[in-house]
């Protein structure tokens, strides 16, 4: 997947790019099945909502073969390398469950706010690139983005330790209102296999999910190798310390895994 000049210009102007069909139904079905099995496990890397429903599974690329392949997939790595012009390492890897009925809110925030304050990341030269594992609909808590908000740099934020089970540096209502007046809100929706990438300073959030439709999305946070984190405070399975450049797998590796290894399991 090579970005065109037009796509790169769109990314810099709007702060995000959405590709509705990147992974095949076979590839994404294998990932979705693995995600469900991961959420059934009890491990320290799996965080739950206050209700007990799964919220986030960290670092699955380190202990699960399918997500290991996704974490080195050229369809995700190459476009981000193209934007930053250098090799990347995995800063963070999360599968967010947004469970049916119980998936809780993600308050309005910028991810770089956390990477800077909690991890000591020098510049916003890390990118979230996400893969839809379920159909993302207007009704099941899609990710909402405020276009062009990344142009405001890193905004003042408060550390919210109360609202959900996940501590987050969140923005106040006046700031969000001002940014939305300028940029509006978009919520990309679509089939499993869609990919969304967005700037580390793009303001985003999502509402709770009270529908019977789960909304699993995997987020790779790819950091430029030269921008490695200097003063981490979070566990190394949340903010990784392996700064070695990612070497992508062949483009067909995940499809091959889904058709052979997984089918045989
Ligand atoms: C995030 O902002 O890190 C996750 C939001 C979501 O999955 O809805
Ligand atoms: Mn975020």
Mean pLDDT calculated for residue range 25-36: 97
- Asked if 99 and 165 touch (Cβ cutoff 8 Å), the reply is no
Ligand 1 contact via 145 beta carbon (within 6 Å)? no
From atom 7 of ligand 1, which residue's Cα is the shortest distance away? 96
pTM: 0.96
Query: What's the full length of the chain, in residues?
Result: 265
Residue 17, burial from CB neighbour count under 10 angstroms (0-12, 13-18, 19+): buried
- Please tell me if the CB atom of residue 206 comes closer than 6 angstroms to any atom of ligand 1: yes
Is residue 259 helix, strand or coil?
helix
Which H or E run includes 90? strand 88-96
How far apart CA 182 and CA 148 sit, in angstroms, is: 8
CA 184/CA 75 separation, integer angstroms: 29
User: Which numbered atom of ligand 1 lies nearest the CA of 142?
Assistant: 8
In the predicted model, what is the mean pLDDT of residues 30-52?
Answer: 96
Give the side-chain half-sphere CA count within 13 A for 230: 8
Let me know the angle formed at the C-alpha of 133 by 128 and 135, rounded to the nearest 5 degrees: 110
CA of 204 to the centre of ligand 2 (A): 6
For 225, how many CA atoms within 13 A lie in the half-sphere containing its CB? 13
Give the model's confidence band at 160: pLDDT under 50 very low, under 70 low, under 90 confident, else very high. Answer: confident
Residue 29 tokens read as 């079905």
Q: Is the CB of 128 inside a 6 Å radius of any atom of ligand 1?
A: no
Q: Is the CB of residue 22 below 6 angstroms from any atom belonging to ligand 1?
A: no
Q: Is 143 in the pocket of ligand 1 (CB under 6 A)?
A: yes
Q: What is the dihedral of CA 59, 64, 65, 71, to 10 degrees?
A: -20
Which one, of 91, 112, 129, lies nearest residue 219 by Cα? 129
> For ligand 1, is residue 217 a contact (CB within 6 Å)?
yes
Taking the CA of residue 143 as reference, the ligand 1 atom at the shortest distance is: 8
CB 142, CB 206: distance < 8 Å: yes
Q: Please tell me the total count of domains within the chain.
A: 1
Q: Which one of 103, 130, 217, 239 would you pick to mutate in the ligand 1 pocket, going by the greatest count of ligand atoms within 8 A of its CB? A: 217
The pLDDT of residue 119: 97
Residue range 130-157, pLDDT digits in tens? 999 999 999 999 999 999 999 999 999 8
Ligand 1 atom index nearest CA of 130? 7
Residue 257 banded pLDDT, cuts 50, 70, 90: very high
CATH code of the domain covering residue 171 = 2.60.120.620
Res. 185: pLDDT tops 80? yes
For 153, residues 6+ apart whose C-beta sits below 8 A from its C-beta are 201
Domain span at residue 53 reads 5-264
Q: Return the sign of the alpha-carbon dihedral for residues 103, 220, 15, 26.
A: negative
């Amino acid at each position: 997947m090579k970005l065109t000049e037009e796509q790169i210009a769109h990314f810099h102007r709007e702060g995000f790019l959405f590709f509705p069909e990147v992974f095949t139904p076979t590839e994404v079905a294998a990932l979705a099945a693995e995600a469900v099995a991961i959420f059934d496990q009890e491990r320290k890397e799996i965080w739950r909502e206050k209700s007990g429903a799964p919220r986030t599974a960290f670092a699955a690329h380190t202990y699960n073969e399918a997500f290991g392949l996704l974490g080195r997939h050229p369809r995700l790595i190459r476009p981000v390398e193209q934007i930053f012009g250098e090799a990347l390492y995995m800063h963070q890897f999360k599968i967010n469950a947004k469970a049916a009925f119980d998936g809780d809110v993600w308050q309005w925030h910028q991810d770089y706010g956390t990477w800077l304050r909690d991890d000591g990341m020098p510049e916003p030269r890390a990118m979230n690139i996400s893969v839809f594992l379920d159909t993302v609909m207007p009704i099941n808590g899609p990710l909402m983005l405020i276009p062009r908000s990344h142009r405001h740099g890193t905004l003042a934020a408060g550390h919210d330790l109360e609202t959900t089970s996940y501590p987050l540096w969140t923005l106040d209502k006046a700031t969000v209102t001002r940014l939305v007046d300028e940029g509006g809100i978009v919520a990309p929706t679509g089939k499993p296999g869609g990919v969304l990438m967005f700037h580390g300073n793009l303001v985003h959030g999502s509402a709770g999910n009270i529908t019977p439709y789960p909304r699993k999305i995997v987020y790779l946070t790819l950091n430029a190798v030269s921008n490695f984190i200097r003063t981490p405070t979070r566990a190394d399975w949340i903010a990784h310390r392996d700064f070695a450049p990612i070497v992508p797998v062949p483009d067909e590796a995940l499809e091959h895994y889904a058709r052979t290894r997984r089918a045989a399991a």
